Homo-oligomer: A and B are copies of this chain.
Amino acid sequence: MASLGANEATHLRLQALTRYVGARSGDSRVTDNSASQVVLVVEGAVKLIASASAGRTQVMGFYFKDDFIYVPARETHAYNLCALKDCELVAFPATEFIRLAQSDKTLNNNFLSHLLCALSRCREKSLALGQKTARERVATFLVSMAERIGAPFSNGALLDLPMSRRDIGDNIGLTIETVSRQMTELRNAGLVSTSGRSQVKILDLAALKQEAGHLPGLS
């Protein structure tokens, strides 16, 4: 829990709240959803899914080592965490976590900057889902993953994606077939190469960002 940056006293009180959760790959319903939770990924990778009625699911996001996740209690839609690989997670009831953060500036700041980051990412996703074409969405997804879990490589990145095509599709609002087709097109365009189900090599990150509809310049 070093990543929480909490001081000694806070650390002890956090431990008292902690629900350690070990999850095996594919586990769903990792956390209680009758109350909002704050979850920290110690090791592994998870997806946060939201369910509309009719069994349709949207993958709200993917989370990796050291990521915070705010998992709200069920309201108009139900949220659940689901492990993409074997995981080590730490969960706190949100209300108590927040109360505790009030007395620890570092913890509070960590939580705040996480929330700002989560909000930014969620807005980027909204923009993608509302305005972007399939091609742009897949490119956007790959750029985002490259920035988060990619290993630098030449003028691109190496990716080992822990999620299935279905997860990707549910994340960017496309079907697995469309994701697959767009990946093929990106491969044909020489922007990426793939090997096996999960290995993706981004050959030209700048061009991929262009394809993703990012504003030119900066970053």
The residues of A with any CB-CB pair to B shorter than 8 Å are 50-54, 56-58, 60, 70, 72, 74-79, 98, 102, 105, 108-109, 111-112, 115-116, 118-120, 122-127, 129-132, 170-173, 209, 213-216, 218-219
Contacts and interface: CB of A to CB of B under 8 A. Distances in A.
A123 B60 contact: yes
B53 A131 contact: no
A214 to B, nearest CB: 4
A157 to B, nearest CB: 16
B70 A127 contact: no
A127 B218 contact: no
A115 B105 contact: no
A53 B140 CA distance: 13
Contacts of A122: 119, 122-123, 126
B77 A127 contact: yes
B52 A131 contact: yes
Contacts of A98: 109, 112
B218 A126 contact: no
Given A56-B131, A126-B125, A119 B70 contact: yes
B127 A119 contact: no
Contacts of A172: 130
A209 B75 CA distance: 12
B120 A173 contact: no
B53 A213 contact: yes
B218 A75 contact: yes
B215 A53 contact: yes
Nearest to A170: B130
Contacts of A53: 213-216
B173 A58 contact: no
Given A102-B108, A108-B102, A116-B115, A60 B127 contact: yes
A64 to B, nearest CB: 19
